[in-house]
Amino acid sequence: MAKAKRLVVLVSGSGTNLQALLDAVASQGPDAYGAEIVAVGADRDGIAGLERAERAGLPTFVRRVKDYGTREEWDAALAGATGAYAPDLVVSAGFMKIVGKEFLARFGGRFVNTHPALLPSFPGAHGVRDALAYGAKVTGCTVHFVDDGVDTGPIIAQGVVEVRNEDYEDEGAALHERIKEVERKLLVDVVGRLARNGYRIEGRKVVIQ
């Protein structure tokens, strides 16, 4: 069995996608799953995602934009903190910041994001709300590589979720929960396959070997 790949996971909120990855590594074992989480980073303190990492005994780091003079300095600090753990793959699991040039120069092609809509529809910070406002009948989630656009990088996998009439009553909260159920399984599956099998990015097409 090949050695488990090293993952750094970035979070900004509740961290249920991070938890799904932690649970997969714990239940299958790093070698069988193909990857282990070596650190968790965030752009803010006091979030459940960091508590989940600490409960799992993992090192954490926080780099807040407001602590740096410029966005570029923050980006370089985030890249440095992430790089200190020598990751093979970096996973943005509900990380609500756009990274900059230095981060992409170091981790481009191995930086995976999960987004709560069927890209290229509804990119940005409000994927669930925007799909509802548009009146979409199906939406879902997209796991993709990050490039220098906003949610524009090559798509690795997608999951579909139907929109219900009652989803308009709570501004998409229940819809987002149904999306996240699909998303957690998809992310665990995709990260494991990328780590175990290897992959190629051919233009827009991602081929998992």
Any idea which residues carry the catalytic annotation?
115
Selected binder of ligand GAR within 58, 93, 143, 188 (CB under 6 A): 93
- The answer to whether 56 contacts ligand GAR (rule: CB under 6 A) is no
CA 172 – CA 70 distance, rounded (Å): 34
| Cα 148 off chain centre by | 15
Contacts of 75 (CB under 8 A, 6+ apart): 99, 100, 101, 102, 103
With beta carbons less than 8 A apart as the criterion, state whether 112 and 89 touch: yes
Peptide bond into 120 cis (omega under 30): yes
- The answer to whether 15 contacts ligand GAR (rule: CB under 6 A) is yes
Selected binder of ligand GAR within 107, 180, 186, 206 (CB under 6 A): 180
Structure token pair of residue 174: 């229940």
Secondary structure E strands in 105-196? 111-115, 138-145, 155-162
- The answer to whether 94 contacts ligand GAR (rule: CB under 6 A) is yes
For residue 138, the minimal CB distance to ligand GAR (Å) is: 16
- Residues 117 to 136 in contact with ligand GAR, rule: CB under 6 A: 125, 127
For residue 70, the minimal CB distance to ligand GAR (Å) is: 23
- The answer to whether 109 contacts ligand GAR (rule: CB under 6 A) is no
- The answer to whether 14 contacts ligand GAR (rule: CB under 6 A) is yes
Taking the least distance from each CB to ligand GAR, the nearer of 15 and 172 is 15
Phi and psi based region of residue 123 (left: phi greater than 0; alpha: psi -120 to 50; beta: remaining): beta
Q: Which spans of this chain sit near ligand GAR (rule: CB under 6 A)?
A: 11, 13-17, 49, 93-94, 96, 114-116, 125, 127, 180, 183
